[in-house]
Chains A and B, each alone.
Chain A
Amino acid sequence: MPAKALDARALAALAANPGCRRRAILDGAGVDKASLASALGSPSVFGQSQFALTRGNAFEARVKADGGAELLRLVHERLDRGAEPPAAGAHVPDLSATGPEGRAARTALALREATTGSAGTPGGPGAWTLLDHPMLALDVAGSPAFLEPDAVVVHPDGSWTVVEIKSFPMLDGSADPAKVGAAARQAAVYVLALERVAARLDPAPRVRDRVLLVCPKDFSNLPTASAVDVRRQRAVTGRQLARLTRIEDIADALPDGVCFSPELPAEELTAAVEAVPATYAPECLSACELAFHCRARSREAGAVTALGRPVRAELGGMSTVEEVLAAARGEAGDPDDPAVAALRRAARLRAEALAAAGAGTREAAVCP
């Protein structure tokens, strides 16, 4: 089965559950988790409405119309007011090439020309350059991932800015924080990848750690933008990527011949997937294609974390539903363990309260 290339969304999603080894190894190995999930009988529920898709594409086209004049105006206004305002008809180099490698090479070349080429030429230093859908390569766990930001802008001072165009609105200057967070994590991956490109130039240009998020303004389809500081997301993603290289260590621990091909019979496939431990939590449902499979396994195993990560906080070493309930009933557990003692007190208080209320409700039922 051909490996599925990692995209920025997948890389950014690493931050959602970095403790999950199953996700790390499947992603690292380029397994298509959506097909895997279907083959396991728990298809993923991620889909995109064509309305959203149409709207997103139309908005992006609008933002980039006229050689990106509006886009560059926003970059100038929100990030670099000190620079010369972009003149009409900024340089937009042609980035087309064959295959992702070719496009990545073409992008790197365009970036270099815009930054360090001879001054005064269009697209050379001292001018604004817009790279529309550039291609960036980032080494992830030993193999290249190809990433395609919406745009990268080269400022007259030679610094680079990542631009993310999203179709959720900015209403009175604020936007859905969860969506902005996701956009920031995605942009942070691009910043990391751009930094790798920059590092190969001498002198290395500055990759700005504030990205430009462009969204529709209020209820219109006019673009507006906000600078988003992605230093935190960059630091976290950088660290998680560095950890990903340890996938080989995880793979070494797997039994030989483990294969995740969706062609395999469901039973064999399940066994293969089970060979890599998962760390399921309900948050996975909105971030990982395999979540429903993992949830079912987690519930079967009676894991308390299937009810949410915070549930474990007060349970100490206990991790299964039966274990906790048995401890609460006084059938198991060391009474000197503060977690067990607290559980028993909680169980006693709860029973007492329900009994008191039960008496009350019956009365209420008799004379409503």
Chain B
Amino acid sequence: MTAETTAAPAAPVLDPGAEAARATAAILHDTLHGAERGVVVDSPPGAGKSTLVVRAALELAEAGRPLMVVAQTNAQVDDLVLRLAEKNPDLPVGRLHSSDADPYDKALDGLENVRTSAKAADLAGQAVVLSTAAKWAHVKVDEPWRHAIVDEAYQMRSDSLLAVAGLFERALFVGDPGQLDPFATVGSEQWAGLSHDPSASAVTTLLAHNPTLPQHRLPVSWRLPASAAPLVSDAFYPYTPFRSGTGHGDRRLAFSVASDGSGPDQVIDEAARSGWGLLELPPRHTPRTDPEAVRAVASVVRRLLDRRGAATSERAPEPVLLTADRVAVGTAHRDQAAAIRAALADVGVTEVTVDTANRLQGREYDVTVVLHPLSGRPDATAFHLETGRLCVLASRHRHACVVVCRAGVDELLDDYPSTEPVQLGTPVKFPDGWEANHAVLAHLAEHRVPWRP
């Protein structure tokens, strides 16, 4: 998302379903019948990106246009294959994979119309062929595909698009501009400001060269509850706001075991009531795997499961038991995730997902517990202030998000030296991580519960 993006003109207030349907119809129209070679769709967290990709794929296939789909990871490709097969089991789908061991999800072998191969030639004639950008880069064709869908296009690097763009004539680019940006392992400053900077995101380059391409956005998050959408939208999508698909009363979280008055129970109740909870530990500089914070996260998770939560939502008429697979823990670093997994194992919890922001991208849970990236740190760094990281962590939940953090992060942010270099010609990235962090903290402060074992 860049500063150049401006908010769309105010539309008449529609109900979220109708608003989303209108956006989807416009996207599909431009994709199938538009004159431009590309269509860009911004999708905020939980706005139905995968649903859109599957639907567009099916309609393109139905229209008889050979389609290739580019995703960024093997898991994303397999997920799309499974979704396509679920929607239309008769559709001939090709899964192009690498020649490494275990290149794809074994579940694909059970699907009748899905063919898998490491050679693109074997998949000729399939209505849709899916693979990762890395694999597509090695494919050579005489005749390009009529159409492509590029998924997670904001997480794709410009050079990676360069390697595959010759394979298709037209493409639909879909992605979430608020998540983590792609990065390079070496310096790329020398190309900053160039329209084809190879380390920029694929969408940045695409739009720099094709400024007239139609740009759409999915305006409704079906994942984030009414308590979370405004905060996430304001803090991370200031120029492309979105709203929640549900109202304040539509989602409820209730626990059948009463609070024991401890910090974890109080913060769970606060989060169940308001959608957010901040469990604040006393200020202290700690190593990344702060034992107290790790234990606090583990106790919150343990209590979430012990107190037999029931989640009521528009998805089911009856409340659904909050089970371990509906809860996730998010961290900034891998060693933190490992420490929390170990602490959870100590209290007998093994089924809960614990992962870093990078790996939680695109995933969804009922309740998330987040170890704040800046908790206990003696200093903030650009890594910890990256907006995408906080945005991913704060937007994985359907009901509630509990943040565990040491006190003092606001001072840490205020003391952060902001002497970033500025490259001429590169659009300023908004929102700024520093400001977004302040916004999220200010909101969390209203839901603060001090730590008490």
Residues of A within 8 A of B (CB): 15-19, 170, 173-175, 177-178, 180-182, 184-185, 213, 226, 228-229, 231-233, 235-236, 239-240, 243, 279, 281, 283, 287, 309-310, 312-317, 319, 336-339, 342
Contacts and interface: CB of A to CB of B under 8 A. Distances in A.
17 contacts: A15-B419, A18-B417, A177-B422, A181-B419, A181-B421, A181-B422, A226-B424, A226-B425, A228-B422, A228-B424, A312-B285, A312-B379, A313-B377, A315-B378, A317-B284, A337-B291, A338-B289
B288 interface: yes
B376 to A, nearest CB: 8
Nearest to B2: A229
A244 B440 CA distance: 23
Given A15-B419, A181-B419, A315-B287, A174 B424 contact: yes
Interface in B316-360: 339
Interface stretch (B114-122, B257-265, B363-371, B426-434): B426-434
Determine which residue in A180, A232, A315 has the highest number of CB atoms from chain B within 10 A of its CB, and name it.
A232
Contacts of A178: 421
B180 interface: no
B182 interface: no
A347 to B, nearest CB: 15
A15 B285 contact: no
A19 B414 contact: yes
A48 B287 CA distance: 43
Nearest to A343: B287
A316 B422 contact: no
B443 to A, nearest CB: 17
A95 to B, nearest CB: 29
Shortest beta-carbon contacts, A-B, top 7: A19-B415, A177-B421, A339-B287, A316-B287, A312-B378, A181-B422, A180-B422
A316 B406 CA distance: 13
Nearest to A286: B419
Given A18-B414, A228-B424, A317 B285 contact: yes
Given A310-B381, A339-B287, A18 B416 contact: yes
A173 B190 CA distance: 11
B425 A314 contact: no
Most chain B CB within a 10 A radius of its CB, from A170, A174, A182, A231: A174
B175 to A, nearest CB: 23
B17 interface: no
Contacts, number: 109
A193 B339 CA distance: 49
A317 B284 CA distance: 7
A17 B189 CA distance: 25
Contacts of B290: 316, 338
B159 interface: no
Given A181-B419, A338-B287, A231 B428 contact: yes
B379 A316 contact: no
B282 to A, nearest CB: 12
B428 A180 contact: no
Contacts of A315: 287, 378
B417 A342 contact: no
B286 A316 contact: yes
A339 B285 CA distance: 11
Contact of B192 (A174, A232, A283, A316): A174
B423 interface: yes
A173 B417 contact: no
B439 to A, nearest CB: 11
Most chain B CB inside 10 Å of its own CB: which residue of A177, A243, A279, A337: A177
B415 A174 contact: no
Contacts of B192: 174, 177
Given A287-B419, A316-B376, 20 more contacts: A15-B419, A16-B417, A19-B416, A170-B424, A175-B424, A178-B421, A181-B421, A213-B424, A235-B435, A240-B414, A283-B417, A309-B378, A312-B379, A313-B377, A314-B287, A317-B286, A319-B285, A338-B290, A339-B287, A342-B287
B424 A180 contact: yes
A24 to B, nearest CB: 11
B432 to A, nearest CB: 5
Contacts of A232: 418, 420, 428, 432
A181 B287 contact: no
B9 to A, nearest CB: 20
Nearest to A317: B285
A15 B421 contact: no
A244 B299 CA distance: 40
Interface string B389-411: 00000000000000000000001
Contacts of A181: 419-422
B3 interface: yes
A14 B424 CA distance: 23
Given A317-B284, A338-B287, A236 B424 contact: no
Contacts of B418: 15, 18, 232-233, 236
Given A174-B192, A337-B287, A310 B379 contact: yes
Contacts of A170: 424
A299 B428 CA distance: 38
B428 A229 contact: yes
Nearest to A15: B418
A53 B417 CA distance: 28
Contact of A174 (B377, B379, B419, B425): B425
B20 to A, nearest CB: 31
Contacts of B377: 313
Nearest to A243: B414
Contacts of B285: 312, 316-317, 319
A32 B428 CA distance: 35
Nearest to B429: A232
Contact of B423 (A180, A281, A283, A338): A180
B247 interface: no
A19 B286 CA distance: 19
A243 B413 CA distance: 12
B421 A180 contact: yes
B193 interface: yes
A342 B288 CA distance: 11
Nearest to B438: A239
Nearest to B335: A338
B414 A309 contact: no
A18 B286 CA distance: 22
B384 to A, nearest CB: 10
Contacts of B421: 177-178, 180-181
- Which of A181, A182, A213, A226 has the most chain B CB within a 10 Å cutoff? A181
B415 A18 contact: yes
A245 B148 CA distance: 56
Nearest to B294: A338
Contacts of A279: 415
Interface string B264-295: 00000000000000000000111111110000
A16 B417 CA distance: 5
A309 B379 contact: yes
A315 B287 CA distance: 6
Contact of A177 (B284, B289, B381, B423): B423
A362 to B, nearest CB: 36
A184 B422 contact: yes
A235 B432 contact: yes
A174 B421 CA distance: 12
